[in-house]
Structure 1
Amino acid sequence: MNKLLTSLLALSMLSTPLAAKNMLKELSVADGFKINIFARDVENARQLAVSKKGIVYVGSRKAGNVYALIDHNSDGVADKQILVASGLTMPSGLAIKDNDLYVAEVHRIIRFKNVDTQLKAPKYDVVYDALPTERHHGWKFLRFSPSGELIIPVGVPCNVCAEDERYGRIFSLDINTKQMTTLAQGVRNSVGFDFHPSTQALWFSDNGRDMMGDDIPPDELNRLTNEGEHFGFPYVHAGAILDPEFGRDKSITDYSPPALALGAHVAPLGIHFYKGKQFPADYKQQLFVAEHGSWNRSKKSGYKVALATIEQGRVVKYTPFITGFMKNEETLGRPVAFAELADGSLLISDDYANVIYRVSYKKN
């Protein structure tokens, strides 16, 4: 059997119900918590958003689909999956505002109005269509700010390069006036951000450049302090390393350092401040981070969900929360993004195993 066929068979097995159950046996979650499969066979599951009615929407990247997952009896397992849209261009990111579902394709933002009421063959309108068209780092994460603007990242179309002001930034879009404002620059590729529930400060992940070796540069967890702040790319990496090509004649001190330098190539994607009441008090307003995992390291790294404990705007501890997505250098799953259900349980998407996990706390 050739290698391609073997790989395809292995991937198809991962999406079967039996494989999903076996996957749970490999995962270890923090003490006091339990994990179950909320939904399986959700192809290339990426960002999640939950409507007021509790319908879970899921974007994808390679699949080009948007899904709706419904748990009719509220038992923590989705019993219906609906294909809301297909044939889209990397619709990885999505967000809900005023019952409308916003979906980020590579080149535009589209909107499905009152999406809960028209799940089958819904119509959409185009909100904004002036985004770059490059697919390299072109897929996006979406979230609305506390003041109502839509936050849109645009990654650089390369491993490392100096591009114009359309790239390497996190933007704020006024969906009424269509005005775009630069919130952060010098950002290679952010595929996850959230606002602190109390301070409303924007925190975001950033994936560092490749081809500098196994252990540099670190990936980043960042906190935005000032509008337009520059986080260094492509000149400085993780606030400490000058780029060998673009860092000449640059000063490290001219750019903002990360709130936390992570491992190189761990690929932090979705991040999420916990706001629910189900988890213990020491998880309240703390930051979950999905380390998607390395693809170009001689020994794999990442492949976990971690918790960043934050005090007074500083990360004081970074600990594993879920492990087991990789075993003996074999990839079993790759966590991507988070969403909370009304009961305070936490959903986590996995675009490799094609499942959505649900984490709940086992109260004594």
Structure 2
Amino acid sequence: MPTPADQLPTPRLKVPEGFKVETWASDVLDARMMREGAKGTLFVSSLFVANKVYAVLDKGGRREVKVVVDDTALPNGVEFKDGALYVATPRKILRFDDIENRLDSPPEPVVVYEGFPPSSQHGWKVLKFGPDGKLYAPVGAPCNICVPDKGQARILRMKPDGTGVETVAEGVRNSVGFDFDPRSGDLWFTDNQRDWVSDDMPLDELNHVTRPGKQHFGFPYCHSGLMVDPEFGGGRQCSEFSPPAALLGAHAAPLGMRFYTGRMFPEKYRDAIFIARHGPWNRPQKDADVAVAFLNDRREVVTVEPFLTGFVQDDEYVGRPVDVHVMRDGSLLVSDDHNGAIYRVSYVGEGGATAKP
């Protein structure tokens, strides 16, 4: 069950001076990835618990939650383009046409693509249309650590009709979020590294694709650009592979990420990357937050800083951020699958309130 609105951890969440965090929507069980429709509908996916896709409607101060896709296995990936909602399951990409006009009676889906390899691990997808008009999707490694089959541990792109599939990046263990630089159009993505080496290594990654189809990011031979794998790295060197653009912490589980393209936040956040760090599942020390990566004019990461914190209280999770979304007014939405909720972060100016339930 989702956490009741009056029991959400919103009052305990912390943001920098001048920002305010409030509950934007509750009762969104297992809220995961978010995409906004042309008419302002927020489409929210789920994963292991709900197996649904929701439409969240802003009713002028309150939100109405509708189920538009039900009883569909692991529909984590959602995207919106030209009036259609795209939904990715581990095996298929589906398209629901004219969805915002048919929220109460969604159409039968059109199968766009059904060529993903089967996988019981890291099989869920994310979706994003690039500035090239192509649809991007990851194919995760089918294991914690192994030499994957051809076609796995990579990011693909295809035409909107599912044809012309090609590899954009190889050596990608498990990417659960990516976005495109508004300045250059380059793809950036988060990647979760292997488990069961130590609590402090490897470090999860933020990566930058500068040569589509020609870069290998290390899996399973090198992790974090620093550590040759003890099982599969024999005879290999990390210098053979594209290094991370930034390291995001040991087992931090970085998921959704988004370039900030709004105008509400102060200028220093323009074109910075907000990253939801879901937190470790098997590390004794818990940590979860939304971080922000600041880039310089050469598109290098200068620093990664916590932005929205407070999801861990007394060494227990009280929330776990999954995705971030920049609204048209410049505010930032953050989904929380632990509570089935969505928070809104806005800027109110120096000296403004920092939290609102």
Q: TM-score, normalised by structure 2?
A: 0.95
Cα deviation 1:244-280 (Å, max 9, x = unaligned): 1110011221101100112110100011001111111
Q: 2:231 is matched by which residue type in structure 1?
A: E
Contact between 1:84 and 1:120, CA under 8 Å: does it hold in 2? yes
Alpha-carbon RMSD across the aligned residues, in angstroms, is 1.1
Contact between 2:112 and 2:162, CA under 8 Å: does it hold in 1? no
The Cα of 1:135 is off from its aligned counterpart by 3.0
Contact between 1:85 and 1:121, CA under 8 Å: does it hold in 2? no
Q: Which residue does the alignment assign to 1:136?
A: 121
Where is the helix percentage greater, Structure 1 or Structure 2? Answer: 1
User: Is residue 171 of structure 2 the alignment partner of residue 183 of structure 1?
Assistant: no
Find runs of 4+ consecutive structure 1 residues off by over 2 angstroms.
Answer: none
The Cα of 1:175 is off from its aligned counterpart by 2.2
Q: CA–CA distance in 2 between the matches of 1:177 and 1:136?
A: 23
Q: CA–CA distance in 1 between the matches of 2:101 and 2:306?
A: 39
Find the partner of 2:16 among 8, 30, 42. 30
Q: Which residue does the alignment assign to 2:98?
A: 114
Q: How many residues align?
A: 346
Find the partner of 1:71 among 50, 54, 58. 58
Matches within 5 A, 1:1-364: 12=1, 15-20=3-8, 23-62=9-48, 63-73=50-60, 75=61, 77-78=62-63, 80-123=64-107, 124-176=109-161, 178-228=163-213, 229-301=215-287, 303-311=288-296, 312-363=298-349
Higher relative contact order (CA 8 A, sep 6+): 2
Q: CA–CA distance in 2 between the matches of 1:324 and 1:156?
A: 31
The Cα of 1:330 is off from its aligned counterpart by 0.6
Cα deviation 1:7-59 (Å, max 9, x = unaligned): xxxxx5x6112212xx1121001111111111101011111011111110001
Where 1:46 maps in the other structure, the secondary structure is coil
The Cα of 1:177 is off from its aligned counterpart by 5.8
Contact between 1:50 and 1:340, CA under 8 Å: does it hold in 2? no
Cα deviation 1:144-178 (Å, max 9, x = unaligned): 00011000001011100101122100001112361
Contact between 1:270 and 1:336, CA under 8 Å: does it hold in 2? yes
The Cα of 1:363 is off from its aligned counterpart by 3.6
Cα deviation 1:105-158 (Å, max 9, x = unaligned): 110000010110011231211100111222310111110000110000010111
Where 1:84 maps in the other structure, the secondary structure is strand
Q: 1:249 is matched by which residue type in structure 2?
A: G
Q: TM-score, normalised by structure 1?
A: 0.93
Contact between 1:54 and 1:341, CA under 8 Å: does it hold in 2? no
Q: Percent identity?
A: 44
Residue segments in structure 1 that go unaligned for 5+ positions in a row: 1-11
Q: 1:196 is matched by which residue type in structure 2?
A: D
Q: CA–CA distance in 2 between the matches of 1:345 and 1:88?
A: 31
Residue segments in structure 2 that go unaligned for 5+ positions in a row: 351-357
Contact between 1:308 and 1:319, CA under 8 Å: does it hold in 2? yes
Q: CA–CA distance in 2 between the matches of 1:360 and 1:129?
A: 39
